[in-house]
Amino acid sequence: MTSPMTSPMRETSRARPEDLPEEQDIMQSNTTFYQILGFNGEGAFGKVATCIDLNTSETVAIKIHKGHKDEFIEREVAMLKAVSVLDPNKNNIVRFIDDFTYHGHFCLAFEMLDMSLLDLLKKRQWKPLNLNELRPVTHQLLVAFEALKSIGIMHTDLKPDNVMLVNHKDQPFKIKLIDFGLATHSSKMEVGLMMQTAAYRAPEVNLGLPLTESVDMWSVGCILAFLYFGADLFPYRYHVEYEDRRTFLDLLRSCLCPDYDLRITPEEAVKHSFVTMDHLKTAASSYADTAIQLMTVLPAPVAFLNLGDKSGQLICGLRELSEL
């Protein structure tokens, strides 16, 4: 391996914010040196840098984590190595190149891709894809998930941000699946696990039912609808709205219990959190405000007899205002 003229910065055992790399810095892995050309973005995890491999001259994308290697990063690396048994080009999956530590910050190197499907729609000013444009995207996604299923891996975080165009100018609608940070072995799935972005989440996840690779296919359908309509099929606005839906589904399960001895009683149901709105007590959103406002139609003794203190006080105050 040929060493670059500029020496890499000294390795440290602890990650420090001041040690985050800058443009032109050179990072060393066990196999090569990478020089940073620029940054594509920054998130809660850290930065994504555009780099050049000084040995091969290949341009790569390096995900630089703010912190050191932890159990979540180790899980991602394990999934990336498991997926690496698949041909990345035939199966439309991002090519994982390298992993190393730089100044205590764990780094993952991938092939350089173009932009995400979300970026594509933004660039098109949310103009949807037509069916001829959508068809190759559909086929490539299905091939990717067929390949993942064949090795028993579930992605569990499919969304427009995690599907990248390879080179939209030269290879229109050629895509690759990225981000295996939440991927898992299907054999390790447990009932009740929460996963997936809300707008792309399969109903069995919300219902607490057994989970299989089919949760990814639900997300595929949601992505195709997003690309065709230019908007999410199941839009998600507030976290509290999701929590409210969960409490409602829990009440439904309790009412529809096949065993009549275990079925919820009226006395129990009126104290259920969907009715009492306990989960809305500290919520600061128009959704929670509307929920409380609509409960003012109940007769005064009923409206806050079984509600939490804050919800009951708010309803009482709203009623008094309406009577002025």
- The catalytic residues are 157
Q: Which of 20, 151, 167, 17 is nearest to 84 (CA)?
A: 151
CA atoms of 274 and 265, how far apart (whole Å): 15
Tokens of 73: 């990063």
Provide CB contacts within 8 A for 150, sequence distance 6+: none
Neighbour tally for 71: CB within 10 Å = 7
In Å, how far are 78, 93, 182, 191 from 185, measured between CA atoms? 11, 17, 10, 14
Helix runs in 159-263, H state only? 203-207, 214-229, 239-255
Q: How far apart are the first and last CA of the chain?
A: 82
Exposed / middle / buried, residue 259 (Cβ in 10 Å: 0-12, 13-18, 19+): exposed
Tokens of 84: 């690496």
CA atoms of 211 and 202, how far apart (whole Å): 9
The residue written with tokens 């109903």 in the block is 203
